């Protein structure tokens, strides 16, 4: 019997997440356009409505409703990675969006998100830490 090795070279051991999105960090950002208050993450989350399709947060100072964003940065260089704004969604909105895709396609998939809904992927990672954990949270 031949001694075959199934080991991979280090460059072959990248995850789908790394292949399509690279190593990144996400930083929530919300600056009220009315009063200029910079909301922290807790304020952003507290300001979301119950609606799964209204992504506005609410300023904790003046009550203005507006979109908050995730700033996506390369983990090593710290440079911004996305040219398009990434709207920050709450956990429930993220799950709702995932359920809609699953209902329409039968599955979600990292490659699909990379091509069609990068914003959703970044929110998935922000709220669940890993794609696989988010999938386990689907109903």
pLDDT digits (tens, 9 = 90+) for 77-105: 889 888 889 999 999 999 999 999 999 99
The token pair that represents 105 in the structure block? 């396609």
Token pair 């790394």 is found at: 18
Count of C-beta atoms within a 10 Å radius of residue 86:
20
Q: Is the dihedral of CA 65, 127, 123, 50 positive or negative?
A: negative
Q: Which residue has the higher pLDDT, 25 or 21?
A: 25
* Rounded CA Rg of the chain: 18
pLDDT value of residue 82: 82
The token pair that represents 26 in the structure block? 């996400």
pLDDT higher than 70, residue 124 = yes
pLDDT value of residue 17: 61
Q: What is the pTM of this model?
A: 0.82
Element at 70 (helix H, strand E) = strand 69-74
What is the Cα–Cα distance from 32 to 39, expressed in whole angstroms?
A: 8
Taking all residues of the chain, what is their mean pLDDT, rounded to a whole number? 87
């Amino acid at each position: 019997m031949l001694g075959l090795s199934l080991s991979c070279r280090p460059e072959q051991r990248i995850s789908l997440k790394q292949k399509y999105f690279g190593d990144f960090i996400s930083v929530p950002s919300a600056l009220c356009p009315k009063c200029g208050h910079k909301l922290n993450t807790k304020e952003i989350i507290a300001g979301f409505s119950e609606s799964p399709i209204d992504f506005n947060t609410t300023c904790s100072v003046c009550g203005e409703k507006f979109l908050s964003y995730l700033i996506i940065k390369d983990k090593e260089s710290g440079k911004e990675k996305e040219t398009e704004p990434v709207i920050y969604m709450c956990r429930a909105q993220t799950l709702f969006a995932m359920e809609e895709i699953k209902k329409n396609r039968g599955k979600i998939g990292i490659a699909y998100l990379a091509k069609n809904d990068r914003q959703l992927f970044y929110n998935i990672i922000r709220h669940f830490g890993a794609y696989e954990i988010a999938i386990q949270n689907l109903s």
